[in-house]
């Protein structure tokens, strides 16, 4: 049985956790993108699902997101971020700083299990 390892990690104690939350808030203010496909917590999705009319013949499917994060190319994410920052008339220094911080956050991806430290 060759099952992939997909650890679920609480990263609230990670060195860049607070920085990531701050940059996320700033990027949301800059981009002004609708959160059409995002949820903030399980209560939100539970409420959304409660309001959906489902027939007996309908099925709800949840995709396996095992490869979602690890398959996002860092360079592409940084290019898209840079594009949206430029589109929203941000200064060059601001763009450079946000991209630098975002790169650090994206590359800081490790976890500890027992005494060993892993970098996926």
pLDDT given at position 76:
92
Instruction: Please determine, for residue 120, whether its predicted confidence score (pLDDT) is greater than 90.
Output: no
Looking only at the bridges linking them, the beta strands covering 116-118 and 111-113 are antiparallel
Segments making up each domain of the chain, as ranges: 38-118
Q: What Rg do the C-alpha atoms of the chain give, in angstroms?
A: 18
Using one digit for the tens of pLDDT, what is the confidence trace for 25-70? 888 877 766 666 667 777 887 888 788 888 889 887 766 555 555 5
Using one digit for the tens of pLDDT, what is the confidence trace for 98-109? 999 999 888 877
User: How many beta carbons lie within 10 A of that of residue 60, not counting itself?
Assistant: 7
Three-state secondary-structure class, residue 32: coil
Using one digit for the tens of pLDDT, what is the confidence trace for 76-94? 989 998 998 888 877 888 8
Beta strands in the chain (DSSP E): 111-113, 116-118
């Amino acid at each position: 049985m060759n099952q992939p390892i997909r650890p679920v990690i609480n990263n609230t104690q990670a060195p860049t956790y607070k920085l990531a939350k701050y940059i996320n808030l700033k990027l949301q203010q800059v981009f002004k993108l609708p959160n059409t496909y995002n949820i903030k917590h399980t209560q939100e999705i539970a409420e959304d699902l409660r309001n959906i009319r489902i027939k007996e013949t309908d099925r709800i499917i949840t995709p396996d997101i095992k490869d979602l994060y690890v398959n996002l190319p860092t360079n592409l994410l940084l290019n898209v971020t840079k594009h949206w920052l430029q589109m929203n008339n941000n200064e060059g220094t601001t763009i450079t700083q946000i991209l630098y911080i975002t790169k650090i956050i994206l590359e800081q991806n490790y976890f500890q299990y027992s005494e060993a430290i892993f970098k996926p």
